[in-house]
A and B are shown apart, each in its own frame.
Chain A
């Protein structure tokens, strides 16, 4: 079990925060380009899922998986998007992403007057809190086999 990387996007598609832990393969493009690609894909999937759904959706898009990884998506009513890539064995982590938003993002970014809300986050305190939180997750450690 492990966490690969994590993105926060705001409503306008700006990447506010990016962190990675056990990512062994890079996308081979500029980080900025990668953010755009990621945001664009999420945006498309969201509208795709909503359009194609045969019944009214309650939660909308939550996650997808490939043979190698699983992408978890959480969106707040204000349009903040939290995206975490983990390996396949991780179940539903909606509440974990919600905690990251409410206990760390709101606490150390929204309540920090030095952080502009539409700019990438520079606060070291926020970054270290995020890192500690993710490292403390039950599914963070690489399973030793």
Chain B
């Protein structure tokens, strides 16, 4: 179990370090910094996790990979619900998101939620971009520890 906790503590420290060292004005930057860190990590991870699997048939197949293998490897569980409108919008719902389970089980500390979701968002975006899908990933929390990631695919 200790090995999972290492990632968690590092993630916590990364956030607190960024916010501690940032000036008041650039606090908004922190989110995008975290997101781009996540992007790079996601890129490498998707490379690593797909090294033994065959090519994905279509977009949905890729999303299923994210929900199952990717989530399992990073968060030790699968996404609870995957929904799509078949027009390039996917919603991944995790009812017990790992980074939020210890923080609260309701509305307390709600304002802190975005900081803890920027890195995961970037990670999803990075993984997908390496699999040939350009997208925008946003996260939404209505009550912790449940969390929804919305993936909007950008078609050129």
Contacts and interface: CB of A to CB of B under 8 A. Distances in A.
Interface of A: 107-108, 111-114, 123-125, 128
Given A107-B102, A108-B102, A125-B103, A113 B108 contact: no
Contact of A114 (B5, B9, B112): B112
A114 B8 contact: no
7 contacts: A112-B103, A114-B103, A114-B104, A123-B103, A123-B108, A125-B103, A128-B105
A113 B104 contact: no
B114 interface: no
Contacts of B15: 113
The winner among B9, B12, B109 for most chain A CB atoms within 10 A is: B109
A113 B5 contact: no
Which 9 pairs of residues, A with B, have the shortest CB-CB distance? A113-B12, A111-B102, A112-B102, A124-B108, A114-B109, A125-B105, A125-B104, A112-B103, A108-B102
Interface residues of B, number: 15
Contacts of A113: 12, 15-16, 103, 112, 116
Contacts of B108: 123-125
Contacts of B16: 113
A108 B103 CA distance: 7
Given A112-B102, A113-B15, A123-B108, 16 more contacts: A107-B102, A111-B9, A111-B102, A112-B103, A113-B12, A113-B112, A113-B116, A114-B112, A123-B103, A123-B109, A124-B104, A124-B105, A125-B103, A125-B105, A125-B108, A128-B105
A125 B143 CA distance: 13
A114 to B, nearest CB: 5
Nearest to B12: A113
Given A125-B104, A125-B105, A111 B5 contact: yes
B106 interface: yes
B89 to A, nearest CB: 31
